[in-house]
Amino acid sequence: MKLYLITAIALSAALSVSCGSKGGASSEPEDDLVKYVNQTIGTGGHGHVFLGASVPFGMVQLGPVNVTEGWDWCSGYHDTDTSIIGFSHTHLEGTGIGDLLDITVMPVTGDVKYARGSLDDPLSGLWSAFSHSSEKISPGLYSVDLDRYGIHAELTASERVGVHRYTFPQSDKAGIVFDFQNGGNWDRVTDVHVEKVGDKALQGFRRSQGWAHDQIVYFYAEFSRPFDSLEVINANLEAQGEYASYSGPLYVRADYRTAKGEKIVLKVALSPTGMDAARANMAEVPDFDFDKTSLQANKAWNEELGRVKIKTEDEKSREIFYTALYHTMIHPCLFDNLDGSYMGSDFAFHKGDGIHNYTVFSLWDTYRAEMPLLFLLQRERSSDMVNTLVRISEQNGGKLPVWHLMGNETDCMVGNPGVVVVSDAIVKGLPGVDPKRAFAQIKSSLAMDERGQGLRKKYGYIPSDLYNESIGNDMEYAVADGAAANAAKAVGDTAAEALYRKMSHSWRTYMDPETKLARGRFADGRWRPDFDPFMSNHRQQDYVEGNAFQYTWLAPQDFEGMVDFYGSEKALVSALDSLFAQPEKITGENASPDISGLIGQYVHGNEPSHHIIYLYSMAGRPDKAAERVREVYSKMYTNGRDGLAGNEDEGQMSAWYVLSSFGFYQVEPASTRFWFGAPLFPEMELKVPGGILTIKAEGLGPENKYIRKVSFNGKTLDRGWIGWDEITSGGTLVYEMGPKPEIWY
């Protein structure tokens, strides 16, 4: 069988509490860690997070969708909105572009207008108002009252099945509507197929065009009682730009007569390959026991959250931490069937081979902290994720993913982030990943000339007068080259190591000795005139979602080159100090909204800055790193609805917090060194491949915020980092904290 798809397209203020007001720590938290997850964090501001029911890394993310569309509704939901058009089975998590929100279901009563509607007219579509006070929110359970219809909606999920329970009022015309037109925030439906299966089931698919240029989701839906009748509502969807027009069954309504308080359960199984596979996936939820499924989802989340245990007396800090850990386990998500079969990036059907297939790889974001964190805490899953990246490349002409979404390469963002992640797996010796097979895809990816790479090979850098966003592209390519050089060394390819190491220095071409900043460089060597380091014009300048200040530091693979440019580690530290002391301003007519969470010109709300603070530790000033890390803990992460400094970006924003809370962070791409910063809690326990890693911050308190000594398994460390093999082997890592800045290495 083959499917042929056409591919065209919280320490600081909380420090005194989290460390214990008297410097002590409470007993370990209860095993029910789910109760500390606050899904509303990031639903306001520009967090763009998913809110709803799921299980860790599951294909289904079942949650509400608002009427409003736009940038802050990339996940379909925003705290400022109190409308619901329905409950969709797939969601993105904190992205800057919208898509998914497939197979949207809305329970109704009476006659309705089959449309999305608008907020100025309550009867303009299917939508209902709701109150945030009626929402019950937990990782594996979401419920809300739909005011318009008097219906109580409850949602839960397994990996591939979404389960709905609707409590209806008395009605002669109650209904459950499948809406195939709306839901998708920035996509357009191109094809829909629906079949009636007996008197209590439906099956079909929704095909759409959006960020994922050609996406198809198959479903099989079962109702707990036969429908009294079934309505198919056809409508015309006019052509919109490149999107094809479509005329077909955009809405399907199962009608019921209901008694007051009657509950109807609906199960919807998804598949990437076919209706029969979706029906087989329903085996995950064989009955209509909603509560049992919800308890299983709760158990699954507790098991995964339990990979990290913390000691603290501060409930607020615990809430922020476990919510962050939760956010790191939504994506990447499964993209295969219960039997392991999947649709590949070649859009062909593949039988299962013992490796789970995954999708939603926001790699430009997640190579920095999310994927290293998963390598540490989710070894088996992360091995499957890396193997997914490798076979995507094998099925897609030898190109590792850039931003892979539901079988589609979107080519969103810049550089070769897939190379970084796969290289990291090789360097760390991730079990289950064949280093030679993986390295072959790294080599083929770096040999390509697309997306400015040909210019880079010709000139040694990407000239700013020949290619837009030249610095952002080139510097990310250089990061990937540095990672690939490390991978080449690991597999013994000395020629490739030398080549990639040389290319990883291309960023140096942009370093202007006069301004001491990264500045546009033309093909003839001239510097870009009229240079304004504060300027950011979105998609129309030399940088990508940033300006000269942020991109000056995007060379974690070449720290020696940074030191050479500034003349000494002391001078580099002074330049870092200057970065944080700059005015918090961005100039330009169309500045990127992603530039958020500023401390001077350090931008924590976007990923290119995430490693910068730890350069202090690499330069021998861990005290300065500790000060800034703690400032970020306090300013950029709260338990409010706007508690994230920027887009969650599929776990990266939260992964920075989680990884940093351990007291260390991976700065260099594809490296085994994790540089020290600022431990967040008095004691933590991590389930690592070798057992339990206990992390203690002895004496940690409002005054004792600096590391003065580090020991691992009783041996004092005279270096500013801890190794991967040490972390993963388990044991005891002890930070001795003090009130004054000290350098122990």
pLDDT value for 68: 95
Structure tokens at 636: 């950029």
For 355-412, the DSSP string reads: S--EE-EEHHHHTTTHHHHHHHH-HHHHHHHHHHHHHHHHHTTS---SEEETTEE---
Confidence of residue 592 (pLDDT cuts 50, 70, 90): confident
pLDDT at 23 over 80: no
Q: How many CA atoms lie within 13 A of 614 on its CB side?
A: 29
pLDDT value for 183: 79
Give every CB contact of residue 244 below 8 A, 6+ residues apart in sequence: 190, 209
- The pLDDT tens digits for 96-125 are 999 999 999 999 999 999 999 999 999 999
pLDDT at 256 over 70: yes
User: Is residue 634 in a domain?
Assistant: no
The dihedral built from the CA positions of residue 274, 280, 283 and 288, taken in this order, carries a sign that is: positive
Q: Region 364-374: what's the mean pLDDT?
A: 98
Q: What DSSP character marks residue 339?
A: T
Distance, CA of 145 to CA of 90 (rounded, Å) = 21
pLDDT value for 670: 98
pLDDT value for 5: 28
User: Is residue 160 in a domain?
Assistant: yes
pLDDT value for 7: 28
Q: Region 633-660: what's the mean pLDDT?
A: 98
- The pLDDT tens digits for 380-430 are 999 999 999 999 999 999 999 999 999 999 999 999 999 999 999 999 999
pLDDT value for 236: 59
User: Is residue 388 in a domain?
Assistant: no
Peptide bond into 332 cis (omega under 30): yes
CATH code, domain carrying 53: 2.70.98.10
pLDDT at 642 over 70: yes
User: Is residue 65 in a domain?
Assistant: yes
Confidence of residue 240 (pLDDT cuts 50, 70, 90): very low
Residue holding tokens 């839901």?
A: 183
Structure tokens at 353: 């081979």
Distance, CA of 541 to CA of 258 (rounded, Å) = 59
Distance, CA of 700 to CA of 635 (rounded, Å) = 19
User: Is residue 230 in a domain?
Assistant: yes
Query: b/e map of 491-526 (b: 16 or more CB within 10 Å)?
Result: bebeebbebbbebbbbbbbbbbeeebbbbbbeeeee
Query: b/e map of 450-470 (b: 16 or more CB within 10 Å)?
Result: ebbbebbbebebbbbeebebb
- The pLDDT tens digits for 278-304 are 999 999 999 999 999 999 999 999 999
Structural domains of the chain, count: 1
pLDDT at 241 over 60: no
pLDDT at 28 over 90: no
Q: What is the CA radius of gyration of the chain?
A: 26
Q: The domain containing residue 70 runs over which residues?
A: 42-305
Distance, CA of 659 to CA of 679 (rounded, Å) = 10
pLDDT value for 408: 97
Q: How far is CA 138 from CA 28, 156, 163, in A?
A: 21, 10, 15
User: Is residue 205 in a domain?
Assistant: yes
For 128-165, the DSSP string reads: EE--GGG-EEETTEEEEEETTTTEEEEEEE-SSEEEEE
Number of H helices, E strands in the chain: 19, 37
Give me the percent of the chain exceeding a pLDDT of 90: 91
Confidence of residue 27 (pLDDT cuts 50, 70, 90): very low
- The pLDDT tens digits for 676-722 are 999 999 999 999 999 999 999 999 999 999 999 999 999 999 999 99
pLDDT value for 245: 54
pLDDT at 25 over 70: no
pLDDT at 24 over 60: no
pLDDT at 235 over 80: no
Q: Region 155-174: what's the mean pLDDT?
A: 98
User: Is residue 548 in a domain?
Assistant: no
